[in-house]
Amino acid sequence: MRVAIVGVGQTPFARNSRMSIQELCFEAFRDTLEDINLSPKEIEASIICSAPEYDKQRSPAGLISEYLGLTPRPTLCAESLCSSSSTGVRVGYGFLKSRLHEIVVVIGFQKMSEISSSEAQERMGRGADIQWESPFGTMMPAGYAMFARAHMHKYGTTDEQLAKVKVKSSKYALSNPLAMFRREVTLEDCLKARDIASPLKMYDCCANADGASCVIMASEEKARKITTVPIWIAGIGAASDTLATPNRTNITGLDCAIQAGKQAYNMAGVEPKDIDVAEVHDCFTIAEIMAYENLGFCKSGEGGKLIDESQTYIGGKIPVNVDGGLLSKGHPIGATGGSQIRTIVHQLQGRAGKTQIDGAEIGLIHNIGGVGLYGNVTILKRE
C-alpha cells in the first residue's frame, strides 16, 4: 500500500504575525483544504510539530486539535528541533503504512516573535549539550561557523561561494509571496555585511519567524478520492548524530544527512542524478553547500564549485531551494519541514508558477534538526 501526500499549505512566514499559535495553525490548515475534496471530520489523527520553549503553551497538540475541530480523534506532538514537521510526516507515514489510520494531518508551527533574538539563541543553544557546549557560546551560528571554517580549511571554500548561496536564495524569493524577505541581495551586499560568527556574516544566516505549515497524507485508496494529483512518498530516511559536536568524526558535513539520504535513495530506487528539484535545509549558507555534497549532487569538497557554476539554479544540474529557502523565507522552526514539502509537492503538481521546473517528476526534501543532530530526507514522486 502506497502513501500519498494529498494536500499542502502554509501561512506567510513573518517577523511578527500578530496571531496566536492556534490561529497560525488554522490558517495553514484552511489553506490546505481549499484545493482538495476532504472534510476535517474525515481526518483520523493529527500530529502537531514544534520545538518546545518558544511559547508558553505546554502540550500544544491538545490545544490545536481542539481549535481545528479534530477532537476526540487522537493527537500527539512530534519534536526533533528544526526538523520537527518532517519527523511528523515520518510518523504519519508509519500510521498509514501500518493501516492504523487512513488519513492523517501533520501541522508544524512556531511563533518566535514573543521572545527576543538573544532569548531565541539561548533556547536554540539548549539543543546542544547544556553541560559542555551551550554554556561556552556554541549556539547555532557558532556551530555552523565551525563547519564553515573546517570546510574552508579542507577544501578551499571561499566567502564568495557562501555568499552566492544567499544571492540565489534572494533571487527566487522574489517569486514567493509567502517568503519573509523578498528583496534581491547582491554579492557585494553579502560580503560587506557585518560578522555574526566568523566566517558567517548577516546574510549567511536565516532569520527567526512566525509561521505554520500543513501536510495531509492518505492511503492509496483514500488519496484518489481526495485529489486528482496525489504525490507519492517514494523514499523516507532518518538518522541522528552525536549531540556533542566534539564527538563527531566528520566536521565538513553532516553524517545524519548522509545516512538519511542513503536510506531514502535506496527505498525510492533512485540515485542523486534522478532528482529533478530539491529543497535543502539552508539555515546557513554553508549548510546548503554541505547538503549538495552530503546528498550526492556533487563530490565532497565540490559544493562551492556547484554554486560557482550556477548548477543549483533553474536550468542547472539540480535546482535547489527555488522558493528562497530558509535564508529568504525565514525559519519558523516547527513549520519549516512542512513548508519544504509544500514546495516540492507544488513542483511535482506543476503549480510552482514562475519557478516551475519543467517536467519535474522526482523531488527531494532535506530537513535538519539542531546543529546536524537530526537528519530527515524524503523523496516524492509524481504518478
Active site residues: 82, 331
CA distance 287 to 293: 10
Name the nearest CA neighbour of 333 among 210, 173, 236.
210
Report the first-to-last Cα separation within the chain, whole angstroms: 15
- Residue 110 CB contacts under 8 Å (≥ 6 apart), including other chains: 50, 51, 54, 209, 210, 211, 212, 332, 333, 334, 335
Nearest-angstrom CA–CA distance, 282 and 162: 11
